[in-house]
Amino acid sequence: MKNRTLVKNLAALPDGPVTVSGWVETVRDQKKVQFVILRDESGAVQLVNPATRELDENADAGASARLAMTEAISALTHGSFISVTGDLKHDERVKLGGIEVKIGALEVVAEANPETPIAADSSLDKRMDWRFLDLRHPKQNLIFRIQTTFLHALRTYWVEHDFVEIQTPKLMASASESRAELFEVGYFEGTAYLAQSPQFFKQMAQPAGFGKVFEVGPAFRADPSFTSRHATEFTSIDAEMSWVESHEDVMKMHEELLVAGLTAVKAKHGAEIAELFDIELEVPTLPFPRIPLREAKQIVADRGYVIPRDDADIDPEGERQISAHVREAFGHDFVFLTDWDISLRPFYHMRHPEDATLTNSYDLIYNGVEISTGAQREHRIDVLVAQAREKGLDPEELEFYLDFFRYGVPPHGGFGMGLARVMMLMLNEHSIRETTYLFRGPTRLLP
């Protein structure tokens, strides 16, 4: 809107005429004065109007206009979008920012229904039904401003380190890793699959000579889980780079990337995070602790928790326990769990040079939850084919992928990381539903 001033910019202006636009958060309709809290995408400001409740027989046009304004403000409904022109005044007695705007003219741009469908105590599912209203809350608004800052910092790091941004297709002719957890979609006379990750395509960039690549894009998992950290569609943060000597090179890039992101978030939003989330955001020190998985499982057992599985994996409680240990021992919120058993990793992870039962791979745990898997990839075609067969995969179904390795590929590695999980753990939220713009799960396709 022409001449519109964002609320966050009002404090720097001198007293005088301004135009502000946003939605009505509250109306305090007192006998002699009316207050309206107007909120826009940047903050909230108090509007004030001296009330005129009735006219006497000698009332002039000005008095009639003031009565009309009073009645218009009394009729305002929560959530209505309005535009107000008036006089800005700095007054330290005003609790909301030390400024207010005396209303001169008011336009109701879009009136809201008087009964709002959600309240502060509404359930999470109810709030998700009315997500566009839920997102008006300052805390929810801040999440996505933080996310913007975080992603910008990641991109800045990558670009400054000569990474190339790519956009990989999400429709695939065959499974990206296995047929488990895949969505099938009709594709003309055949069938396509929604990509679980850009894994194969970001690896394709290595024989293409790109050297280092990254992508931030959607991924899909036909996973019927209803946990606080799973979704059927999510935003994946991926990177892959050539000429790694081991997964250690990938971890070094990964931890530097996260420090860059958290540093930017703390610098720009630290005070707001403290106010709205009651968190003093910490930027982690480098390097992050590294613990081999077998050692981590022993540490967890020594803490009194036995992982109830027959395989070599670690469960969510085990992740929480190892994080608690790392916090106590190192004062750190992150830990790399390294050297995973081959039974737990896909066929394309490189085997450990000193122990063929282990892989050059890791999971990254943040505040007790896994946020990422990374690894050095196997780049030798004969080894790849053999490892695919070991996993029960038919190499003929992987021909398009295996072709990448028949014309020379440098040693390479990378990671995939869930954006919503990172945001959830950064802000100490309880579900990725809070940190996903529009969540998709087994029972949710709306709004």
Q: Residues comprising the binding site?
A: 177, 221, 370, 373, 377, 418-421
Identify the CA nearest to 101 among candidates 53, 38, 8, 166.
38
Grouping H, G, I as helix, E, B as strand and the rest as coil, residue 207 is coil
DSSP-derived secondary structure for 234-274: EEEEEEEEES-SSHHHHHHHHHHHHHHHHHHHHHHHHHHHH
Q: Is the CB of residue 300 less than 8 Å from the CB of residue 321? A: yes
Distance, CA of 362 to CA of 336 (rounded, Å): 6
Helix (H), strand (E) at residue 68:
helix 61-74
65-89 core/surface letters (b: 16 or more CB in 10 A; e: else): ebbebbebbeebeebbbbbbbbebe
* DSSP H stretches of helix in 228-380: 247-277, 293-302, 316-330
Reading the block at residue 6, the tokens are 């964002």
Binding site members for ATP:
370, 418-421
Distance, CA of 118 to CA of 134 (rounded, Å): 8
Using the Cα atoms of residue 123, residue 124, residue 125 and residue 129 in order, give the sign of their dihedral. positive
Reading the block at residue 346, the tokens are 């896909």
Residue 3: which region, alpha, beta or left (left: phi > 0; alpha: psi -120 to 50)? left
Binding site members for L-aspartate:
177, 221, 373, 377
What is the DSSP-derived secondary structure letter of residue 41? Answer: T
Long-range contacts of 251-255 (CB under 8 A, 24+ apart): 251/287, 251/288, 251/290, 251/336, 251/338, 251/362, 251/364, 251/374, 252/287, 253/161, 254/364, 254/372, 254/374, 254/415, 254/417, 255/284, 255/286, 255/287, 255/288, 255/334, 255/336
Distance, CA of 366 to CA of 203 (rounded, Å): 26
* DSSP H stretches of helix in 191-233: 199-204
Identify the CA nearest to 419 among candidates 234, 230, 227.
234
* Amino acid at site 249: D
Reading the block at residue 430, the tokens are 């309880």
